[in-house]
Amino acid sequence: MTKTAKLILENGTFEFPVIEGTEQEKAVDISKLRAQTGYVTLDNGYMNTGACTSNITFLDGEKGILKYRGIPIEVLAEKSTFMEVAYLLINGKLPNEKQFLEFRNGINDVSKVPDGIINIIKQFPKDAHPMGVLSAAMVGLSAFYPEYLDADLTPEKKVKVINQLIAQMRIICAAFYRHSIGKNPVKSDTKLSYCADFMHLMFDKGNIDPAVAQALDILLILHADHEQNCSSTTVRVVGSSQANPFASISAGIDALWGPLHGGANQAVLEMLEAIHQDGGDFKKFLARAKDKNDTFRLMGFGHRVYKNFDPRAKIIKKACDTVLDKLGVDDPLLEIAKGLEAEALKDPYFVERKLYPNVDFYSGIIYRALGIPTNMFTVMFALGRLPGWLAQWKELIESDAMKIARPRQIYTGDVNSEYVDIKKRK
Residue 131 corresponds to which amino acid?
M
Catalytic residue among 200, 254, 303, 310: 303
DSSP states along 6-44: EEEETTEEEEEEEEE-TT--EEE--TTHHHHHS-----G
Question: What is the gyration radius of the CA atoms in the chain, in angstroms?
Answer: 24
Name, in order, each residue with C-beta under 8 angstroms of 323's C-beta and a sequence gap of 6 or more: 211, 212, 215, 366, 369, 370
276 is catalytic: no
For residue 395, what is the DSSP state?
H
Closest CA to 270 of 297, 295, 305, 250: 297
Secondary structure element (H or E) that encloses residue 58, with its range? strand 57-60
For residue 301, what is the DSSP state?
B
SS3 content of the chain, % helix, strand, coil (to 5): 55, 5, 40
Secondary structure element (H or E) that encloses residue 103, with its range? helix 97-108
DSSP states along 305-363: S-SS--HHHHHHHHHHHHHHHHHT---HHHHHHHHHHHHHHH-HHHHHTT--B-HHHHH
DSSP states along 265-289: HHHHHHHHHHHHHTTS-HHHHHHHH
Q: Cα–Cα distances in Å, from 45 out to 28, 62, 92, 229?
A: 18, 19, 29, 11
Q: Is 384 helix (H, G, I), strand (E, B) or coil?
A: helix
CA dist 98 and 89 (Å) reads 17
Dihedral of CA atoms 169, 175, 176, 177 in degrees, nearest 10, equals 110
Catalytic residue among 197, 360, 400, 414: 360
360 is catalytic: yes
Residues with active-site annotation: 303, 360
